[in-house]
A = this chain, B = another copy of it.
Amino acid sequence: MEKAMYFLDQKDMPTHWYNILPDLPEPLPPIVHPGTKEPCPMDMPLPPPLFPDAINKQEFSTERYIEIPEEVQAAYRTYRPTVLHRAYRLEKALDTPAKIFYKYEGTSQAGSHKPNTAIAQAYYAKKEGFKRMATETGAGQWGSALAMGCVFFDLECKVYMVRVSYNQKPYRRILMETWGAKVVPSPSQDTDVGRGLLTEDPQHPGSLGIAISEACEDAFANDDTKYSIGSVANHVLLHQTIIGEETRKQMEMADAYPDIIVGCIGGGSNFAGQFLPWIRDKISGKKPDMRIICVEPQAAPSLTKGPYTWDFGDIAGLAPILKMYTLGHTFIPSPIHAGGLRYHGMAPIICHLYKLGLVEARAEYQIPVFEAGVKFARTEGIITAPEPCHDLKVAIDEALKCKESGESKTILIAHSGHGHFDLGAYDEYLSGKMQDYEYPEEKVKEALASLPKV
């Protein structure tokens, strides 16, 4: 009997997040204040008063391991440790000597890895005496995770949801409301920014940039409220390292060690959460030939096509300025189904590691990506969200290379979640109606013209 699932007992669940910062071969560039255009101090790197103090301290902490508070661990224990699977059926279908593993975050109540940081952020806000959290959401993946995080710590949650998604994708809105969040279409009547835009156009479709502005204004205007983000920032990647820390223990149970780790990157938090606990072995020279492959969409290929420079973290130019591979903060990518990968930039930690040559990057088109998703569904059974379908495409390619070369490599997939709310995309693919999008060179050139001067 060969095990296809590796469970980690809760008594063995990691008690610490892993912080890569002290192990980086070169230090990470600082964050730059969006107003002053000056570097923020390392001990208070995120412009106050948006975030809880504890989060601010975590952003550039020099501690290698940061203890997960017991209350956060208890909340994690409603769905963690998540399972490490061995994809025997996929291996057999590909007739490959490669060993394929996938760590699956789709069994969290919100269906993705996002609660790992939502819970932590809600905990710190509660601990510091705040009563509410405010955030933005596009299709609703992040907003629903934060809604769940807030309900666990008895906080109110206000979500500004891009109006076009609010109208077209009611399911994630209902999910947030079921967890007790207050969800409004953005632009909304609840902020100055929103009211101004609605005066111009009462049916304004909104954008993620506008929704960020509204959520920030909400947090600035209400003393009892903190703002929360779902990816990109160092502290978010830190919270996600629970994924990789668990996987290390589970791979040991499976008597395996990854030669290749594959994951998709939008803001980068899921994949970094998986690979950061491994990359220390590459940095330290223990496993120098380990390959870490970041997969991005052809429609928004920041690592593979963008310059490494200073840019705003958000489309509106309100969030901190970060050193990253970017397509320009005003760049609006084509409407691919993997909404979570439509970010113009990338987590600074991932950019830094890419610059240092420690991780690779690859860009993929969405039609072959969905082809891989259907292959996975018809072997392993799981319906994968459009974002991690990108991982599957590259993992399958690498497994087929092993078939050619006869090598039995071990491939680890960072599978971030299920696609139960993305079946419309599968329908488009299966009925042959799916469209693909080239890299829009001209639009990127325009967007890069408006980079901030730092």
Contact = CB atoms under 8 A, between A and B. Distances in A.
A424 B74 CA distance: 31
A110 B8 CA distance: 23
Nearest to A378: B151
A111 B107 CA distance: 10
B377 A178 contact: yes
Interface string A89-108: 10000000000000000010
A308 interface: no
A382 interface: yes
Contacts of A115: 381
Contact of A381 (B8, B88, B152, B382): B152
Given A7-B7, A10-B3, A11-B3, A381 B78 contact: yes
B427 A174 contact: yes
Contacts of A175: 383, 423
Nearest to A88: B74
Interface in A360-383: 374, 377-378, 380-383
A195 to B, nearest CB: 25
B426 A178 contact: yes
A148 interface: yes
Given A382-B109, A420-B111, A174 B77 contact: no
Contacts of A178: 374, 377-378, 383, 423, 426, 430
Most buried by B among A85, A88, A383: A383
A174 B419 CA distance: 12
B430 A381 contact: no
A88 B77 CA distance: 10
A177 interface: yes
A148 B178 CA distance: 29
Contacts of A452: none
A429 to B, nearest CB: 9
Interface string A225-268: 00000000000000000000000000000000000000000000
A41 interface: no
Contacts of A110: 381
A79 interface: yes
Contact of A174 (B79, B88, B424): B424
Most buried by B among A10, A382, A423, A427: A423
Q: Top 7 closest A-B pairs, CB basis?
A: A109-B381, A7-B7, A420-B420, A4-B77, A174-B423, A174-B427, A3-B10
11 contacts: A1-B11, A1-B73, A3-B10, A4-B77, A4-B78, A5-B79, A109-B380, A110-B381, A175-B423, A177-B426, A178-B374
Given A78-B381, A109-B383, 12 more contacts: A1-B11, A3-B10, A4-B78, A7-B10, A78-B85, A109-B381, A110-B381, A177-B427, A178-B377, A178-B383, A179-B377, A180-B378
